[in-house]
Amino acid sequence: MSRRTLRWITVVVPTAFVVVFELVTRSLYDDFVPAWGHTVVILAAVSTAAFAFSTFVFTSMARLEREIRERNRRLALLNAVATEASESLDLEEVAAAITRNVRQALAASAAGLALVSEEEGGELRLVAHSGLPSQVTHANGSLGPYDCECSRALALGQTVVIADSRESEGCAGVLGERTPGTCITAPIRSKGNNIGAIFVARPRSRPFDHDEAELVAAVASQVGAVLQNAQLFSKTGAIAVLQERQRVAREVHDGLAQTLGYLNVQMGIVDHRLANEEWAKAQAELEAMAHVTREAYHDLRQSITDLRTPLSPGGSLRRALREHLERFSAQTGIPCTFEGHKGTPAMLSPSAEVQLIRIVQEALTNVKKHSSGAQVWLNVEANDRHVRVVIRDDGPGFDPAGVPKSGRFGLQTMKERAESTGGSLVIDSRPGAGTRLEVTVPVEASKAA
C-alpha cells in the first residue's frame, strides 16, 4: 500500500465512521439527535484533525526514514573503507581505497589523502588523490601551498569546512582556477599522533551539509590505525630489503669476490710455471684452483638456495624451515632431522619470519663450514607468546667466549637479527660437546618490530 493511499485512509476512515455513526444514531433515536447542521461541523472538525495528525505522523516518518538512509549510507561507506583498507598492507593501495570510497560516497569532484612524512620533518605528502588538478599535486608528492587546509585541520585537531575555496589560500584552485569549490578536511590521528588528513571538494553550487562533514570525520577517525599499520609495514619491509641487500653484498664479497681474486693470482702463478716448464708444479696449482672453484660453486649454490627459501607472509614458517633443511641436507650431504613443530602455528610478522629464517640459514652454513661430519637436528615450538627454534649439531663444538671479535660476522649478525625482533639468541657450545643454538622471538613484539 502506497504512502498516499495510507494518508487518504487516515482522513477518510474517521470521517466515514462519524457519518455511519450519525446515520445509525438518527435511525434509532431520531427524537434526541440535533439537526444536520451540527453534524456537518463535527465532520469538518474530525476531518481537519485527522488530516493534521496524519500530516504530522507522515512528516516525522519521512524525517526518520531520511535519517536512517543517511546512517545506512554512512555505515556502508565505513564498512567499504574498512573492508578495502584491511585487504592490503600496501600504504598507497590503502590510501587510494579510502580516497576513492569517500569521493564516491559524497559524489565529490575531488578527494585526497595526505600523510605526515617522518623523513621530511613532518611535511605533508599527498599519498593518494583523485580528481585534483595538477597545481595541487606536485610530482614529488609534497602538498606545497595548496594543502587544502590539511595543516590547519591537524593543528586544530578538528574538521575544517570551507564554504568557498576562493576564501582560503590553501583551498584556492582545488577544482581548478575556474571552478570555485567547497571543501571538507578532517585530521587523521592514531594513538594520539597526527598521521595526516583527508579532504574532499565539490563545486560551490553543491555545498556539503553537516551530515557529510560528520561522515568525513568518521572515516578519518576510523582509518588512522589502518594507515599507521601500513606505514609501519612499509618501513619494516624496507629495512628487511636493506638487510637482505647487505647480506647478499657481504656474501658476494666474502665468497665470490675472494675466490675470483685468488684464481686471478693463481693463474699468473700457473702461467709463470708453464713458461718455466715446471709441469708438475703447474699441475698441482691447477688442482688447487679446481678445488677452490668447486667449493665456490657449492657456496654459490647454497647462497642461491638461501635466497630462494620462500619468505611468503602468511605462509607456514614450519614448512619453509623444513623444506630449507631438506634442501640443505640434499646439497651438502649432511644428515639433518626436522624434529617437528610443537604447540600452536607460528604467528609472526613477515619481517620477524625473515629474520628467523636467516638465522637458521646462517646456523646451517656454520655447521657446513666448521662442523664437518656432524649431524643436525632442528625443532620449532610455538605458543601465543613466542616462537622458539632450536638448531643442534654433534660436531666439534667451540668456545663462544673465544670467538675473535673481528672478521667473524655470522654469530654476531644472528644475535642482532634475533634482537631486532625483540627476541634473543642463546649459544650453547663447548669444545667436544657439539653446538646448540636457541632463537626465541616473542609474538607481540615481533608484530611491532
CA–CA dist 84, 97 (Å, integer) = 6
Cβ nearer to Mg ion, comparing 172 with 391: 391
Which residue number, 168 or 366, has a Cβ lying nearer to Mg ion? 366
Provide, rounded to whole angstroms, the least separation between the CB of residue 381 and ligand ATP: 21
The one of ligand ATP, Mg ion, none whose footprint includes residue 370, by CB under 5 to 8 A per kind, is: ligand ATP
CB of 154 to Mg ion, least distance (A): 49
Q: Whole-angstrom Cα distance, residue 1 to residue 10?
A: 13
Torsion of CA 128, 131, 136, 137, to 10 degrees: 40
Which of ligand ATP, Mg ion, none does 150 bind, CB closer than 5 to 8 A by kind?
none
Residue placing its CB nearer to ligand ATP in the complex, 63 or 430: 430
CB nearer to Mg ion: give 131 or 410: 410
Sheet containing 376-382: give its strands across. 336-343, 376-382, 386-393, 435-442, 424-429
Copy the grid coordinates of residue 349.
610478522
Q: DSSP string spanning 274-327? A: HHTT-HHHHHHHHHHHHHHHHHHHHHHHHHHHHHHS---TTS-HHHHHHHHHHH
- Work out how close the CB of 290 gets to ligand ATP at its nearest, in angstroms, rounded to a whole number: 23
Q: Compare residues 48 and 412 and give the one whose CB is closer to Mg ion.
A: 412
Cβ-based nearer residue to ligand ATP, 429 or 440 = 429
Question: How is the beta sheet containing 193-203 ordered, strand by strand?
Answer: 123-130, 110-117, 193-203, 181-190, 160-162
For residues 336 and 154, give the distance between their C-alpha atoms in angstroms, rounded to a whole number.
57
Write down the least CB distance from residue 401 to ligand ATP, Å.
11
Decide which of Mg ion, ligand ATP, none touches 396; Cβ closer than 5 to 8 Å per partner kind: ligand ATP
231 binds, among Mg ion, ligand ATP, none (CB under 5 to 8 A by kind): none
Cα 116 to Cα 374: distance, rounded to the nearest angstrom: 54
> Would you say 353 or 362 has its CB closer to Mg ion?
362
Region label for 277, one of left (φ > 0), alpha (ψ between -120 and 50) or beta (otherwise): left
Return the one option of Mg ion, ligand ATP, none that residue 146 interacts with (CB less than 5 to 8 A, by type).
none
The partner in contact with residue 63, picked from Mg ion, ligand ATP, none with C-beta cut-offs of 5 to 8 angstroms by kind, is none
**Binding interface with ligand ATP (CB under 6 A):** 254, 366-367, 369-371, 393, 395-398, 403, 408-411, 435
Query: Based on CB atoms, which residue is closest to ligand ATP, 247 or 388?
Result: 247
> What does the CA dihedral 294, 299, 300, 305 come to, rounded to 10 degrees?
130
Determine the Cα–Cα distance for residues 377 and 393; give it in Å rounded to an integer: 6
CA distance 296 to 290: 10
- Distance CA(113)–CA(119), nearest Å, equals 18
- Min dist CB 400 to ligand ATP, Å, is 7
Q: Which does 174 bind (CB under 5 to 8 A by kind): ligand ATP, Mg ion, none?
A: none
* Closer Cβ to ligand ATP, 104 or 372, answer by number: 372
Q: Name the closest residue to Mg ion (Cβ).
A: 410
The span from the first CA to the last CA of the chain, in angstroms, equals: 61
The residue (of 435 and 446) whose beta carbon lies closer to Mg ion is: 435
Q: Which does 393 bind (CB under 5 to 8 A by kind): ligand ATP, Mg ion, none?
A: ligand ATP
Q: How far is the CB of 216 from ligand ATP (least distance, A)?
A: 55
Query: Residue 403 CB, nearest distance to ligand ATP (Å)?
Result: 5
Nearest residue to ligand ATP, scored by beta-carbon proximity: 410
> Least distance in Å: CB of 251 to Mg ion?
11
* Structural Rg of the chain based on CA atoms: 38
Buried b (16+ CB within 10 A) or exposed e, 437-449: bebbbbbeebbeb
CB of 220 to Mg ion, least distance (A): 50
Task: Report how far residue 58's alpha carbon sits from residue 76's, in angstroms, rounded to the nearest whole number.
Answer: 26
Which residues of the shown chain bind Mg ion in the complex (CB under 5 A)? 366, 410
Do 166 and 100 meet the contact criterion of CB atoms below 8 Å apart? no
Q: How many other C-beta atoms are found inside a 10 Å radius of the C-beta of residue 168?
A: 19
Smallest distance, Mg ion to C-beta of residue 404, A: 12
Query: Residue 204 binds which one of ligand ATP, Mg ion, none, with CB within 5 to 8 A depending on kind?
Result: none
